Amino acid sequence: MKYVALTALLLVTALPVHADITIGYAGPISGSYAALGEPVLKGVEVAVADINAKGGINNEKLVLEKADDACDPKQAVNVANQFAAKKVKFVVGHICSSASIAASHNYDEENIMMISPVSTNPALTEAGYKTIFRTCGRDDVQGAAQANYVIKHFRNWKIAVLHDNSTAGRGQSEVFKRTLNAAGVQEWLSDTFVPGEKDYSALVSKLKQRGIQLVQIGGYHTEVALIARQIKQQKADIQIIGGDALTTDEFWHIAGDAAEGVLMSFEPDTRQLPAAREAVESFRKIKYEPAGYTLYGYAATQIIADAIRRAGYPDAVKASMVMHKQKFDTVIGNIGFDDKGDITGSSYVMYKWSKGKYTQLAD
């Protein structure tokens, strides 16, 4: 009887043990940049619900752990350490490039996979960490796309280049400027501004005095919106062109009709893809429009789930090895990653804000 009991115990022990798989979301939940993180978090939440509704991952449910980094690099490092302490091995985030870059070192040391849906600064993946990825493009592609559009449509205008000295803003503007200069176009003014201020009237006056007709602004939506308002207040006829940070509705809410005609770069509208149809319907059923980076957060969650399935076990290193070698069907298309962790084949197009919405331009 003793041997029978022992055999039964061994059989029970050998049975697969099913447990929840925790993934983390890291990004701004509070503070002035919360509007940038909210669409991504919503994308992750809906993706987790959809994946669990279809049986989870190998019959294990996904559980979401949320952490607020307020887009602050130091807080992002704290978040990374918290996830490591809780044994969270998969993270969707961070949002701001400076936060993602700061946290990536810790994730690398702890063998945690991080997929940023938003961070566009090239330095994030240039470090060569094998568990760090992004589902968005890079600023060296985005800044060049802005410049090429300006070269084609506004080549002879008086152009200024401004940025907020942030990792993302500065990087985008530097690429914009280099691309202009390489094409023989010289900017009339290059300057910086301090984020978090309320009054940019002196900066706007400088643009107006120099006769600037177009200004490229590398910065986040709040400051660009305030600059747009103050350009209108001074009755200056200056075209603004910015980047993907302007995809949030809060940009229009702050700027009001001063945002009319503002140009921005972003990737093609993924809501139009056949692969996104089912997910878009899920969002619209809960009366949420998956604009901006919402579907990029959804896709990052899909990829994590699929990589775990293919690896056969929720191990971040094994799943990362799979991601470097294989492609994944997602709501933003069939995604592959290069050796650095960047998606292959990313592209940027131009959009125009009008009447509270932004639409993609044909050319």
pLDDT tens track, the chain, 363 positions: 443 443 333 333 443 445 799 999 999 999 989 999 999 999 999 999 999 999 999 889 999 999 999 999 999 999 999 999 999 999 999 999 999 999 999 999 999 999 999 999 999 999 999 999 999 999 999 999 999 999 999 999 999 999 999 999 999 999 999 999 999 999 999 999 999 999 999 999 999 999 999 999 999 999 999 999 999 999 999 999 999 999 999 999 999 999 999 999 999 999 999 999 999 999 999 999 999 999 999 999 999 999 999 999 999 999 999 999 999 999 999 999 999 999 998 899 999 999 999 999 988
Domain with CATH 3.40.50.2300 in the chain: 13-137+271-335, 140-266
The single residue listed with the structure tokens 């996979």 is 113
Is CATH 3.90.1150.10 what the domain over 140-266 is classified as, yes or no?
A: no
Runs of H (alpha helix) within 89-166 = 97-109, 123-126, 139-153
Global pTM value: 0.91
Q: How many CB atoms lie within 10 A of CB 2?
A: 6
- If one looks up domain 13-137+271-335 in CATH, what number appears? 3.40.50.2300
Q: Quote the CA–CA distance of 141 and 174 in Å, as a whole number.
A: 12
Q: Give first-to-last CA distance, the chain, whole Å.
A: 80
Phi, psi of 254, deg, nearest 5 = -80, -45
Cis peptide before 18, with omega less than 30 degrees from 0?
Answer: no
